Structure 1
Amino acid sequence: MSNKTPNATAAPDTAPYDVTEQVGHLLRKAYQRHTAIFQQQACDPQLTSIQFVTLCALRDHGPSSQAELIKATAVDQATIRGIVDRLKARGLIQLSPDPGDRRKVICELTDSGAALLDAMIPCARQISELSMGCLNAAERVAILFLLRKMIDGDEGVAG
């Protein structure tokens, strides 16, 4: 039995449904805006935001399998495979077999990848600043808190 059953005594919502005012639509629009800002402000125009997150995960967690990258980045398996291929082709990461399990491939940041990350950090800070736009300091704290709360509330939800 799910505990998500609507309250039986609550009145039905009869207001017109406006998709443009729904949380999913607004989150998608905010993400699209952030992605556009990332592409305009990134100091490497070939680097996507997902590739940047992947490089940061390798910097933060060290050499990682693709399964570990999926967990660290919240990127699906098919997408991470393409990201790894593109980063490898650019010489930003290197791949090697896992010494403990030859079927696994370990991804590791190269010196070029680390140098790109170092160059990108000031750009990334500016991207975050621009993404927050006209929000004041309290609103910035609040939105980050609320987004984390939404994400943390997904414990046990498939996805």
Structure 2
Amino acid sequence: MKLDDTLGFILGRVSRKIHYRLDDIFKSRHMTIEQWVGLRMIDEEGPLCQKDLACRMEKSQNTIKALIDRLEAKELVTRTEDPKDRRNLILTLTGKGESLLNTLSPLEDEVNETIESILPPEETETLKQLLLQLEKKL
């Protein structure tokens, strides 16, 4: 089988194209996609323990610590000690972080809507379900 015909290669190409579109949006705000994902997860699931964020993002705790250091330096998140377990750091968004989410979320939504509009809705849903099945088994 030719490389161009393998599922992994096709998924990689599609992923890079989406990544480039989103990267253009976030670069203008001096953000990386990883930082954005971290902010979104803290917003959607927070307050969130730094260890839990590492698990959700499938990153090492050292990588997440560096990511949070950058977000904290930008005054987008705060870290506080968990009163129940002082080894845990709890992450919450600041007002500035919430404001940035409110500004950039509609732009991210536009990209996702454009991507999802390429296929008919039922095929988009089928594709999502198939990708989730792959994710679970890998």
Q: Residues of 2 paired with 1:140 and 1:47: CA distance?
A: 28
Unpaired runs of 5+ in structure 1? 1-16, 155-159
Matches within 5 A, 1:7-156: 17-42=1-26, 44-132=28-116, 134-154=118-138
How many residues are aligned here? 138
What letter matches 2:31 in structure 1? L
Aligned to 1:11: none
Alpha-carbon spacing, 1:80–1:86, altered in 2? closer, same or farther (3 Å): same
Q: Residues of 2 paired with 1:74 and 1:131: CA distance?
A: 24
Q: With structure 1 as the length reference, what TM-score do the two structures score? A: 0.75
Q: Deviations over 1:26-74 (max 9, x none)?
A: 2221111111000223485312222111111111221222211022223
Q: Considering only CA atoms, is the larger Rg found in Structure 1 or Structure 2?
A: 1
| SS in structure 2 at match of 1:31 | helix
Q: Which has the higher helix share?
A: 2
Q: Identity, % of aligned pairs? A: 25
Q: With structure 2 as the length reference, what TM-score do the two structures score? A: 0.85
Q: Residues of 2 paired with 1:74 and 1:93: CA distance?
A: 20
Q: Residues of 2 paired with 1:133 and 1:40: CA distance?
A: 20
Unpaired runs of 5+ in structure 2? none
